[in-house]
């Protein structure tokens, strides 16, 4: 695959990440160091809290409601433990390897073992001279890492060995999440772009995809495609559930699934609008887009089901909401309201196909449709971001940090190419890492799958020694 020379355009980027100021540009700190605005700090911390809320209980309920009651706790348990594990790994090395300066694929060791993470440390935003407490940024990004890894468990739910989930998570987090986050989001921050030369240097020091100009506002590639591909690989390797295709595997509690979807949505405001890192108009734009894109997706999915199957379902509407949220994630701060409605509508239809037509083609028992929703929605969103970010279509365009203004010529075609590159790199990288990680996990834990009779009886009792419900 030929990758065009994006270098000159990369200096123009505005993306959903910030560099660690300290250590990167000490000379900047020497002069009057900017202090965080308390409105930004409040915003960032609140957003972080609600992104955490997305995984626990949001994702847990969304997923848990969809499985059979005998596996409810296993799903919750996997979400909780993946969350806890990743948050600790994030502290120990993940943050440092993702968000400090290193090479194009991995960061460095500046923040290893939480070194230097004090209340006084600040992190850059997307505005020159505007910083936020680095601990806030650390926590915000921790929440992203946690939910990404937790998303994966939906694909092989109801039959995987618990220990295998943990081993897989450690490996995949380290070798897929961390580098993809670095590739897509790491840059030296806006204050490095003092003139063209400095800008070029800063661009060169950025992540592999960032420097190519890939737009991913809040994690279409890093979070959704990344997790979805890992899930799909897992579903293939772990194999289909016993009885899949001829026994009914009805969701055991769609009220919980809807509650989970709604909590995901609320948290997603933090996810997307918080990715602006400041409480400003850009955050408000991302917020509104995160509101209306899923609404359009709900209407699309509902309409699709109504026309195609005769009845519109609540699970369809809830799935549509998530589809729209996934679709708008990479675009949230880059597109206008019209673009958001379009992306939402298209993502809704695409994911409806993802969980029906595509699912039949893939022939994997992706139990909770991680790929059908997050994969399809993520790819559609990533590509459409390239389209609707165009100022001519109401988008914000790309910001030129050297010229301090929106860059003038936006080419949908070449941006689409960049976006496609981002998608392709993520799909391949995550796929390969996931494959190896699952294989290793299987070796280390006596097989990826529980024995058949344990699967029949349910993982709650056999893996965790408890039952979700008693009447």
Partner 1 sequence: MKLIVAIIRPFKLDDVREALSEAGVSGITVTEVKGYGRQKGHTELYRGAEYVVDFVPKIRIEAAVPDNLEDIAIEAITAAARTDKIGDGKIFVLELQHAVRIRTGETDDDAL
- 190 exposure class (CB count in 10 Å sphere: 0-12, 13-18, 19+): buried
Smaller CB separation from partner 1, 123 or 322: 322
Residue 252 beta carbon to its own copies: minimum distance, rounded to whole angstroms: 5
Contact yes or no for 29/235 (Cβ under 8 A): no
What is the spatial distance between Cα 466 and Cα 162, in angstroms, rounded to a whole number? 14
Give strand ranges (E) for 321-431. 399-400, 405-406
Contact of residue 296 among its own copies, partner 1, none (CB under 5-8 Å per partner type): its own copies
What is the spatial distance between Cα 14 and Cα 125, in angstroms, rounded to a whole number? 10
Contact of residue 280 among partner 1, its own copies, none (CB under 5-8 Å per partner type): its own copies
Applying CB under 8 A, the site for partner 1 has a residue count of 28
User: In whole angstroms, how far apart are CA 209 and each of 96, 102, 241?
Assistant: 18, 14, 37
Smaller CB separation from partner 1, 30 or 248: 248
Contact yes or no for 157/367 (Cβ under 8 A): yes
Contact of residue 72 among its own copies, partner 1, none (CB under 5-8 Å per partner type): its own copies
What is the spatial distance between Cα 463 and Cα 471, in angstroms, rounded to a whole number? 21
Write out the binding residues for partner 1, residues 310-369 only, by CB under 8 A. Answer: 311, 313, 315-316, 319, 355-356, 359-360, 369
- Region of 51-59, 148-156, 184-192, 438-446 interacting with its own copies (CB under 8 A): 51-59
User: To which residue do tokens 């899930």 refer?
Assistant: 231
User: In whole angstroms, how far apart are CA 454 and each of 146, 239, 304?
Assistant: 28, 15, 38
Write out the binding residues for partner 1, residues 285-314 only, by CB under 8 A. Answer: 305, 309, 311, 313
Write out the binding residues for partner 1, residues 367-396 only, by CB under 8 A. Answer: 369, 372
What is the spatial distance between Cα 85 and Cα 283, in angstroms, rounded to a whole number? 30
Residue 199 beta carbon to its own copies: minimum distance, rounded to whole angstroms: 23
Q: Rounded to 5 degrees, what are φ and ψ at 133? A: -60, 130
Contact yes or no for 460/218 (Cβ under 8 A): no
Write out the binding residues for its own copies, residues 171-210 only, by CB under 8 A. Answer: none
Closest to 62 measured CA to CA, from 254, 231, 307: 254
CA neighbours closer than 13 Å in the CB half-sphere of residue 83 = 20
Q: Any contact of residue 292 with its own copies (CB under 8 A)?
A: yes
Q: Any contact of residue 48 with its own copies (CB under 8 A)?
A: yes
Q: Any contact of residue 243 with partner 1 (CB under 8 A)?
A: yes
Q: Rounded to 5 degrees, what are φ and ψ at 186? A: -75, 130
Q: Any contact of residue 248 with partner 1 (CB under 8 A)?
A: yes
Q: Any contact of residue 263 with its own copies (CB under 8 A)?
A: yes
Contact of residue 88 among its own copies, partner 1, none (CB under 5-8 Å per partner type): its own copies
User: To which residue do tokens 């626990």 refer?
Assistant: 56
Q: Any contact of residue 217 with its own copies (CB under 8 A)?
A: no
Q: Rounded to 5 degrees, what are φ and ψ at 405? A: -160, 170
Contact yes or no for 344/328 (Cβ under 8 A): yes
Contact yes or no for 156/231 (Cβ under 8 A): yes
Smaller CB separation from its own copies, 76 or 384: 76
Q: Any contact of residue 328 with its own copies (CB under 8 A)?
A: no
Contact of residue 359 among its own copies, partner 1, none (CB under 5-8 Å per partner type): partner 1
User: To which residue do tokens 């601990």 refer?
Assistant: 135
Residue 224 beta carbon to its own copies: minimum distance, rounded to whole angstroms: 21
Contact of residue 372 among partner 1, its own copies, none (CB under 5-8 Å per partner type): partner 1
Q: Any contact of residue 355 with its own copies (CB under 8 A)?
A: no
Closest to 342 measured CA to CA, from 271, 292, 410: 292
Q: Any contact of residue 38 with partner 1 (CB under 8 A)?
A: no
Q: Any contact of residue 296 with its own copies (CB under 8 A)?
A: yes
Contact of residue 336 among its own copies, partner 1, none (CB under 5-8 Å per partner type): its own copies
Residue 55 beta carbon to partner 1: minimum distance, rounded to whole angstroms: 22
Among 225, 283, 332, 398, binds its own copies (CB under 8 A): 283
Write out the binding residues for partner 1, residues 422-461 only, by CB under 8 A. Answer: 456-457, 461
Neighbours of 31 (CB within 10 A): 7
| Interacting residues toward partner 1 by CB under 8 A | 243, 246-251, 305, 309, 311, 313, 315-316, 319, 355-356, 359-360, 369, 372, 456-457, 461-462, 465-467, 471
């Amino acid at each position: 695959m030929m990758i065009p020379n994006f270098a000159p355009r990369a200096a123009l980027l505005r993306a959903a990440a910030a560099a660690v100021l300290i250590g990167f540009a000490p000379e900047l700190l020497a002069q009057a160091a900017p202090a965080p605005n308390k409105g930004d700090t409040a915003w960032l911390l609140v957003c972080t809290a609600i992104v955490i809320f997305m995984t626990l209980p949001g994702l847990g309920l969304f997923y848990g409601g969809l499985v059979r009651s005998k596996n409810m706790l296993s799903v919750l348990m996997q979400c909780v433990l993946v969350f806890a594990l990743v948050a600790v790994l994030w502290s120990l090395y993940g943050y440092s390897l993702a968000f400090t300066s290193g090479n194009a694929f991995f960061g460095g060791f500046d923040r290893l073992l939480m070194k230097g993470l004090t209340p006084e440390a600040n992190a850059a935003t997307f505005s020159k001279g505007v910083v936020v407490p680095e601990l806030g940024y650390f926590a915000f990004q921790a929440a992203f890492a946690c939910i990404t890894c937790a998303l994966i468990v939906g694909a092989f739910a109801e039959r995987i060995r618990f220990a295998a989930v943990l081993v897989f998570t450690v490996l995949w987090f380290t070798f897929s999440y961390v580098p993809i986050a670095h590739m897509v989001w790491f840059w030296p921050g806006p204050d490095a772009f003092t003139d063209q030369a400095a800008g070029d240097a800063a661009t060169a020091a950025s992540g592999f995809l960032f420097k190519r100009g890939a737009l991913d506002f809040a994690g279409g590639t890093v979070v959704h495609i990344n997790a979805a591909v890992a899930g799909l690989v897992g579903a293939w390797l772990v194999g289909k559930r016993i009885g899949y295709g001829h026994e009914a595997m009805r969701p055991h509690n769609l009220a919980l699934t809807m509650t989970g979807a709604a909590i995901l949505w609320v948290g997603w405001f933090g996810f997307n609008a918080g990715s602006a890192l400041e409480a400003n108009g850009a955050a408000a734009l991302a917020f509104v887009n995160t509101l209306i894109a899923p609404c359009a997706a709900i209407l699309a999915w509902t309409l699709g089901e109504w026309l195609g199957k005769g009845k519109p379902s609540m699970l369809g509407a809830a799935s549509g909401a998530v589809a729209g949220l996934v679709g708008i994630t990479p675009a949230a701060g880059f597109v206008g309201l019209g673009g958001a409605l379009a992306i939402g509508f298209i993502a809704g239809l695409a994911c409806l196909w993802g969980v029906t037509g595509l699912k039949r083609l893939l022939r994997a028992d992706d139990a909770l449709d991680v790929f059908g929703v997050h994969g399809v929605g993520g790819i559609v969103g990533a590509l459409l971001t390239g389209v609707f970010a165009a100022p001519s279509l109401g988008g914000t365009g790309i910001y030129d940090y050297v010229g301090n203004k929106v860059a003038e010529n936006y080419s949908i075609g070449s941006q689409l190419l960049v976006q496609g590159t981002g998608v392709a790199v993520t799909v391949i990288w995550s796929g390969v890492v996931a494959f190896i990680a699952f294989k290793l996990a299987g070796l280390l834990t006596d097989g990826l799958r529980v024995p058949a009779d344990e699967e029949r009886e349910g993982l709650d009792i056999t893996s965790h020694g408890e039952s979700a419900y008693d009447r």
